Structure 1
Amino acid sequence: MTGEKFNLISFTGKMKVLHASWIAFFITFLVWFNHAPLMQAIAGTLGLSSQEIKTLLILNVALTIPARVIIGALTDRFGPRLVYSVLLAVSSIPCFMFAFADTFLQAAIARFALGFVGAGFVIGIRMVSEWFPANELGTAEGIYGGWGNFGSAAAAISLPTVALLFGGDEGWRYAIASTGAICLFYSVIYYRTVRNTPEGSTYFKPKQVGGMEVTSKGDLIFLLIMKVPMYAALALLTWKLSPSNIDMLSSTVSYGMYIGLVFLYIFDSYKVIQVNKNLFKEPVPEIHQYKFKQVAVLNILYFATFGSELAVVSMLPLFFSEVFALDMVYAGLLASAYAFMNLMSRPGGGWISDRCGRKKTLLILTAGLAVGYLCMGLVDGTWPLWLAVAAAMACSFFVQAGEGAVFAAVPLIKRRLTGQIAGMTGAYGNVGAVTYLTVLSFVDYQTFFFVIAGTAVVGFITLLFMEEPKGQMAEVNEDGTVELITVS
């Protein structure tokens, strides 16, 4: 850690790393959602049906669930500087492929591969945690997440104009390709700008690779159970692509993928057990122990916060359009207020967490989340439009401040595993989005909001079992000495 003051207008030391990292995250979201505002033009050029458009939207998030877990492990092993730079450079390739695709199949393959860029978020979580002390960590992580997350809104605002500047029916191709060029260019900038740790600090790595380390046999079983929803979400995505839904995959391929997911879970479980086999021989010294329940609680909370954000952003324009009989352009502008809240809400949640405590902040924000979505479920055509928009923005504050508070706690569990913990928690956000959007396909808008409110209540109950991070956590230097890292 460095002793310099927290100064947002500074571009040296730890502040330089924070600015460089949120810009990297901003670019990943710019690329990840570059298709959304141009989908009408893309569909016209490629002759896509409504089912094919829905398929592209699903494929865009499908790979992000396993990608966040994988990227988290790679970050812990090789360091955020290298992993973020490589991710940005490699992600430019499917971005260019999508920009110049001539068929639906080419576009679908490129969009599926681009799901990997959505994993960039977890890299910066580890990077920021290396540079900021515990009393500033929530604010720093909130700025990283909130300002970076704005990349999706920036895509919606800027890319249609860029497409018009290039002109013609295929201006969208050059608009999307420009984001790939930015991604490739910034990969070099990031690598040359940052370092993994401050001068003289140690970058702690996991003792083994291949699975997350836990420190008790009970936690090992808990970890294996918590992995099930991630595979279930991938099975749910397979079902959406099967003949039972949009019919992109044949029955044979669908069943093959189901079987493949079962075997992949078995293999994943085997690797986790191998990494933690020492637990069956001798107990982990108390100084090195951590409680996996801390991770599980944050997973569930991110399921409800970021999962609901992704789902609501996808449906809110249509909700305003249908409930209040608005044209889609006006409805889209009103709905954009929900995403704009990210700029202040997520840093605000981290800042409050730094000053009021991790658990207390999460309890208040999760309760607000439940009440907010309960109110959204009561919105109907009899409400004044301004009141419905105000309810959506208030709900958005609790959602995004809650996200900031979750990741104010993630780096305080076990330093050398921060990437893997962030990866798993981040993946649960995508699991939440898949779950909520699937629910929406079966129920009306009001029930959809009530379901989210219900999961927020579940999150509040599980939060009661979380322990406030306090004292110090221990990590071992390469020379065998123990370093104590303050977490409160």
Structure 2
Amino acid sequence: MSDTSFRFLSFVGRIKVLHLSWVAFFISFLVWFNHAPLMSSIRDQFGLSASEVNTLLLLNVALTIPARILIGMLVDALGPRRVYSLVLVVSGLLCIAFSLSTTFEQLAVTRFLLGFVGAGFVVGIRLISEWFPAKELGLAEGIYGGWGNFGAAFAGLSLPALALWFGGDNGWRWAVGTTGVIAIIYAAVFFILVRDTPKGSTYFKPKRGGAMEVTSKGDFVLYVVMNLPLFFALALIVWQLGPYKLGMLGAPTTYLLYGAIGVMAAVQFLRIWQINGHVFQRPVPAFDRYPFKQVALLNLVYMASFGSELAVVSMLPLYFLDTFDISPMLAGMLGGSFALMNLFGRPGGGYLADRYGRKLITILMLAGIAVGYFFMARIDSSWPLPLAVTLVVLCSIFVQGGCGAVYASVPLVKRRLTGQVAGMAGAYGNVGGVVFLVVLALVPSDQFFLVLGAIALAIMSLVMIFMDEPDPQTSEVMPDGSVRMIDVT
């Protein structure tokens, strides 16, 4: 770690780990979204209705919410090398199973389980934080997140051509199955070439598993409150699939799933008490405390940034098509420009956070998101198309920059909890995507953008009041019981 230069084109040391990590994330997103560009072929072969297509799209993100929490706990306990390899192998096998489906029910079950792969993002956040110093962490995490996220866009660009190359009615099956094989092969590459930490470094683990550690009574209450939207989002997905919306689930099944979500919530809250109930009996030593409000604020910022991105990317092609007199192909390309900015926006937001402060850049990104969505609400058919596209791209840069700023801060909250903090923030991104898509179904597009802007503005106000810059040092307890101070600035 003595070499402090950031040589992006190198393939040694921490730069090698960065490249291996973003490629793993790229492949996980390629697998996660491999069905979307091939949906027309899948729909035609299975004779799917519009409700069944919407169900598959919804199921693809449903499991990601709890999976990111679970994977965050596993990576803190077992280490990134083993967990990322496991995620890639399991998702590769599920991907192959999806490609072999012969009924809608098989498509639905395997697509639901494939939401698991979306949790792979969390693993790399912890891994990168082990290899990079704080002054480069935002840039490194931004490159990891931004370049990895491009896997979804690459699926749209490459898989239709691959399916056409294979040819026939089953071309989509071969294309989807190929991504699964790639994931399994790369799992072996990742396992062989990656280490959890640089040589001689300690990998700090949570004292107990099953829930995030908090260090005060107020933080305990806030942690419980911040868990509620996760279960609300799951219930919202069930409601959408139920008899009052898509009608894919009967009333008995819907109520059974509501009950299962309630049991999951009860078990989670019991585990939170088992892990953290001691804060009501005795104070946590000062050296071991951290402010959970930082986690809560990062959750909300990621909801406003990545959560809104998920919703906007879903509606933007149709929005361009309905607003301007253009072809469906051009509308799809213009809609994809929003996600394309991941390549630059996330690394840029992380880099600026490294240079000028996490809080300041987070506030500026949220302000840009709010202004961008407020202006997007005013787009109509009288606008010149190039001006509308320019505005969308500028707004996207702030959205991706906000994501980069969040994950420049996540690893600096508490080293041994980085996976869990990343997992919770990531889950809030998916919560935002689910909630915002429901809002989109209830209001016109211009009002939808106003809602997104207003939420970003409200969260910006909370960040201005409550967010802290990271302390110059944090502490962790070594395996021998001694306390080690870690520089984070």
TM-score w.r.t. structure 1 length?
0.99
Q: Aligned residue for 2:95?
A: 95
The superposition leaves residues 293-336 of structure 1 with CA deviations (integer Å, 9 ceiling, x where unpaired) of 00000000000000011111111000000011322111011111
1:2·1:132 contact (CA, 8 Å) conserved in 2? no
Whole-Å separation in 2 of the counterparts to 1:10 and 1:470: 31
**Unaligned ranges ≥5, structure 2:** none
Q: Aligned residue for 1:253?
A: 253
1:420 to 2:413 alignment: no
**Closer, same or farther: CA 2–120 of 1 in aligned 2, 3 Å:** farther
Q: Aligned residue for 1:347?
A: 347
Q: Aligned residue for 1:131?
A: 131
Cα RMSD (Å) of the superposition? 0.8
CA shift for structure 1 position 261: 1.3
CA shift for structure 1 position 281: 2.6
1:140 to 2:108 alignment: no
Whole-Å separation in 2 of the counterparts to 1:64 and 1:359: 28
Moved over 4 A (4+): none
Q: Residue 377 of structure 2: SS of its match in structure 1?
A: helix
1:410·1:418 contact (CA, 8 Å) conserved in 2? yes
Q: Residue 276 of structure 1: SS of its match in structure 2?
A: helix
Whole-Å separation in 2 of the counterparts to 1:12 and 1:195: 12
Whole-Å separation in 1 of the counterparts to 2:88 and 2:55: 24
- Residue type at the aligned position of 1:392: V
- Residue type at the aligned position of 2:480: D
Q: Residue 378 of structure 1: SS of its match in structure 2?
A: coil
Q: Aligned residue for 1:199?
A: 199
- Residue type at the aligned position of 1:111: R
Q: Aligned residue for 2:473?
A: 472
Q: Residue 273 of structure 1: SS of its match in structure 2?
A: helix
1:370 to 2:365 alignment: no
CA shift for structure 1 position 4: 4.1
Whole-Å separation in 2 of the counterparts to 1:152 and 1:304: 20
1:401-416 equivalences under 5 Å are: 401-416=401-416
Whole-Å separation in 2 of the counterparts to 1:182 and 1:304: 33
Q: Aligned residue for 2:56?
A: 56
Whole-Å separation in 2 of the counterparts to 1:100 and 1:325: 39
1:66-81 equivalences under 5 Å are: 66-81=66-81
- Residue type at the aligned position of 1:307: G
CA shift for structure 1 position 2: 5.1
Whole-Å separation in 2 of the counterparts to 1:75 and 1:129: 12
Whole-Å separation in 2 of the counterparts to 1:445 and 1:369: 16
Whole-Å separation in 1 of the counterparts to 2:160 and 2:461: 44
- Residue type at the aligned position of 1:13: G
Identity %: 54
1:487 to 2:481 alignment: no
The superposition leaves residues 366-402 of structure 1 with CA deviations (integer Å, 9 ceiling, x where unpaired) of 1010000001111011111011100100000000011
1:310 to 2:310 alignment: yes
Whole-Å separation in 2 of the counterparts to 1:425 and 1:285: 26
- Residue type at the aligned position of 1:480: G
1:2·1:14 contact (CA, 8 Å) conserved in 2? no
Q: Residue 474 of structure 1: SS of its match in structure 2?
A: strand
Whole-Å separation in 2 of the counterparts to 1:324 and 1:2: 55
- Residue type at the aligned position of 1:470: D
The superposition leaves residues 255-304 of structure 1 with CA deviations (integer Å, 9 ceiling, x where unpaired) of 11112212211110010110112213311111110000000000000000
Whole-Å separation in 2 of the counterparts to 1:374 and 1:151: 29
- Residue type at the aligned position of 1:103: T
CA shift for structure 1 position 45: 1.0
- Residue type at the aligned position of 2:481: G
Whole-Å separation in 2 of the counterparts to 1:164 and 1:262: 45
- Residue type at the aligned position of 2:477: V
CA shift for structure 1 position 93: 1.5
Q: Which moved more, 1:313-322 or 1:331-340?
A: 331-340
**Closer, same or farther: CA 166–356 of 1 in aligned 2, 3 Å:** same
- Residue type at the aligned position of 1:97: A
The superposition leaves residues 336-393 of structure 1 with CA deviations (integer Å, 9 ceiling, x where unpaired) of 1111111011100000000000000001111010000001111011111011100100
- Residue type at the aligned position of 1:166: F
User: Aligned pair count?
Assistant: 488
**Closer, same or farther: CA 2–424 of 1 in aligned 2, 3 Å:** farther
- Residue type at the aligned position of 1:433: G
CA shift for structure 1 position 124: 0.2
1:19-30 equivalences under 5 Å are: 19-30=19-30
- Residue type at the aligned position of 1:121: F
- Residue type at the aligned position of 2:484: E
The superposition leaves residues 393-444 of structure 1 with CA deviations (integer Å, 9 ceiling, x where unpaired) of 0000000011000000000000000000000000000000000000011111
Q: Residue 128 of structure 1: SS of its match in structure 2?
A: helix
1:2·1:198 contact (CA, 8 Å) conserved in 2? no
Whole-Å separation in 2 of the counterparts to 1:278 and 1:435: 34
Whole-Å separation in 1 of the counterparts to 2:462 and 2:426: 18
CA shift for structure 1 position 144: 0.2
Q: Residue 282 of structure 1: SS of its match in structure 2?
A: coil
**Unaligned ranges ≥5, structure 1:** none
The superposition leaves residues 30-74 of structure 1 with CA deviations (integer Å, 9 ceiling, x where unpaired) of 000000111001111111111100000000000000000000000
CA shift for structure 1 position 3: 3.4
